[in-house]
Amino acid sequence: MTISPAAPAPAQNAGQSTAQLERRILDAIRRGASMEDIAALRHHTDIQTPAGAIEALKDGNARFFSGKSGRPELDVNERRAQIMGQTPYAAVLACSDSRVPVELVFDVGLGDLFVVRVAGNVVGEAGLGTLEYAIRHLDVHLIMVMGHESCGAVAAAMLSPEQIAQEPDNLQSIIHRITPSLVDMPRIRDKKARMREAVLNNVRHQVQAMREQPVIREAEASGQIQVIGGYYEIGSGAVDFLVDEADLQP
């Protein structure tokens, strides 16, 4: 049985569009749609711009923050339909910290986000190549660099050179990608406030390092994507979005 996806109705915001998509998928499953039909429906999401992707992430985090996460379990047919391909609308470079589950924080399901995780959410060759793949082959509309409260990698970068030198070489290479962002930090007495500022500085630094790469720079200049930052508060579950250029400057 072939189900032709209906044209999506105009939505008031990206979060509503995602909900409409899920309802169409569930309706198609009830009507006996094939895996190909379900996969085709997923290609008809209304999140087609950087602004729409930002709105969807904000809406999802608002649900998570308020304790109203609503992503339903996927039907077995919808899970199997993932075999047909992936259509994420955003890519997120986040820390590997076990307290920062990106898909849960933004209340999304399978196939919605393309996630790269590395300690300190630092920009390196492997991560850049992965994000370039997301731009060239998955047509994502947004890249977010998301730091978080109490980041151990950033805390390590704030240690003395002698202490850093005691760490394994590969770990040192991660730390050294963070330390340049901390050079001109203002003196802040409050420990928690100082750590927050250090994490935010690192996010800004990684955003700028990412923008120096030709594929990402050209994609952003053309309007295909937007590169933004974020700060996740572990204690509250809220994400602060760094979208304006003034917020992204080191």
At residue 23, the pLDDT reads: 73
Scan for tokens 């890249």, then name that residue.
143
- Residue 28 pLDDT exceeds 70: yes
Mean pLDDT for 217-243 is 98
At 71, is the secondary structure helix, strand, or coil? coil
Could you state, in order of their start, the residue ranges of all structural domains in the chain?
14-248
Greater confidence (184 vs 38) lies with 184
What would the pLDDT profile of 59-112 be if each residue is shown by its tens digit? Answer: 999 999 999 998 766 677 677 777 778 889 999 999 999 999 999 999 998 889
Tell me if 107 sits within 8 A of 61, measured CB to CB: yes
How would residue 1 be classed by pLDDT, with cut points 50, 70 and 90?
A: very low
**Tell me: domain 14-248, CATH 2.40.50.110, correct?**
no
Q: Of 213, 208, 212, give the one whose Cα is nearest residue 247.
A: 208
- What residue type is assigned to position 228 of the chain? I
Q: Contact 166/155 with Cβ under 8 angstroms?
A: no
Predicted pLDDT of residue 79: 77
Query: In sequence order, which ranges of the chain are alpha helices (DSSP H)?
Result: 14-30, 35-42, 50-65, 76-81, 102-105, 125-138, 152-157, 161-164, 169-176, 191-211, 214-221, 245-248
Percent of the chain whose predicted confidence (pLDDT) is above 90: 69
In this structure, are residues 142 and 225 in contact, taking their beta carbons and an 8 Å threshold? yes
